[in-house]
Amino acid sequence: MVDFIGVSRVRELLARRGTARFIEELAAEIEADFLRWDSFEKSPRHATHSSVGVIELMPASDGRLYSFKYVNGHPKNTQEGLLTVTAFGVLADVHTGYPLLLSELTLTTALRTAATSVLAARRMARAGSRVMALIGNGAQAEFQTIAFHELLGIREVRLYDTDRRATDKLERNLARLHLPQLKVSRCASTAAAVAGADIVTTATADKRNATILTPELIVAGMHLNAVGGDCPGKTELHRDILLRPDVRVVVEYEPQSRIEGEIQQMDAGYAVLELARVLAGDAPGRASDAEVTVFDSVGFALEDFSALRYLQRIHQEERGTRSQIDLLPQLHDPKDLFGLLAAKPQRLIGANDEAA
């Protein structure tokens, strides 16, 4: 039997812990793993592209535990009442190869993305940053807002999306959260949202080379949390922003970001820093208050490894629904797999059944 964490259990864990605490603890888990960066076997994600989207596998291992995430990205899905991104993941024991946990990662990916964004912003944004523009008000938006408000001290979030219904949805959800110290401002354009912002988060879904942010919108001292560019041919920042002499770019895993991050627009010699170096103190995330910093975040498998391990731990700590699934054969003789077919199947007796 293998531990199983479904959507209902993640919702239960969030209700027990609180979303902000969940994100903060997850950020600490991610940071701890990034600080042992060299312990991990790493690779860019393995992607299968089609004309309508992408399906990816994201593996990572520290030699003791192995994880992978299955994730898709299909922007057209919302027109059919489906999510753009869905995901699940597995955590396994390297010694035996046996899976230990099968978990949903759709909700959890949004939470770990927000956790990683805040983790980077703590090192890269100017001290005292209080205003954030949020361009793209879809599935990531609430998680990013909660994380930056509760964990970084953002006091105003300025919203813009080309889809007014997405902003309507975000405003409703934020109102339900009752965050009295957070001012929510709806803006008529990207330019209006960005004006006066300390931090600009871009989290759009269209898989194309877009120019959500253009050079004239960027002022000295801004921190850009570029979340939406996450596959080849999809970017959000105008290339000239990255060419500014005062720009510092931090990525999660450079070989992957060269393929699918904002820096896919740049030549191979374009200099970036990896987040692990910044977290370890080997390089600053910001050199001065005037510098423009960019976290070119595409999502990396190590973050999902951390998330699965965190889920496994709190699943065991917290009371409530505990589930396992019949994923692996249990044999008296491990060499006799066929014998399993000869054995009489065991029928589980439900609450409304009578024992024979």
Q: What is the pLDDT of residue 75?
A: 85
Measured CA to CA, the distance from residue 85 to residue 351 in angstroms comes to 36
DSSP state of 136: -
Q: What is the pLDDT of residue 120?
A: 98
Residue 156 · residue 183 · CB < 8 Å: yes
Q: What is the pLDDT of residue 19?
A: 96
DSSP state of 6: -
Nearest Cα neighbor of 316 from 112, 103, 171, 163 is 103
The values of phi and psi at residue 20, to 5°, are -65, -45
Interval 92-125: pLDDT, tens? 999 999 999 999 999 999 999 999 999 999 999 9
**167: its two tokens:** 């902003």
Which pTM value belongs to this model? 0.92
161 catalytically annotated: no
Domain 116-299 has CATH 3.40.190.10: no
Domain 2-107+303-328 has CATH 3.30.1780.10: yes
- Identity of residue 168: D
Q: Is 2-107+303-328's fold the same as 116-299's?
A: no
Residue 23 · residue 115 · CB < 8 Å: yes
The answer on pLDDT for 206 being more than 70 is: no
Residue 130 · residue 154 · CB < 8 Å: yes
**278: its two tokens:** 């910044």
Mean pLDDT over residues 149-168, rounded?
A: 97
Q: What is the pLDDT of residue 185?
A: 98
Can you give the residue ranges of every domain in the chain?
Answer: 2-107+303-328, 116-299
Mean pLDDT over residues 171-199, rounded?
A: 97
Interval 215-257: pLDDT, tens? 999 999 999 999 987 677 888 999 999 999 999 999 999 999 9
One of 3, 161, 198, 230 is an active-site residue; which one? 230
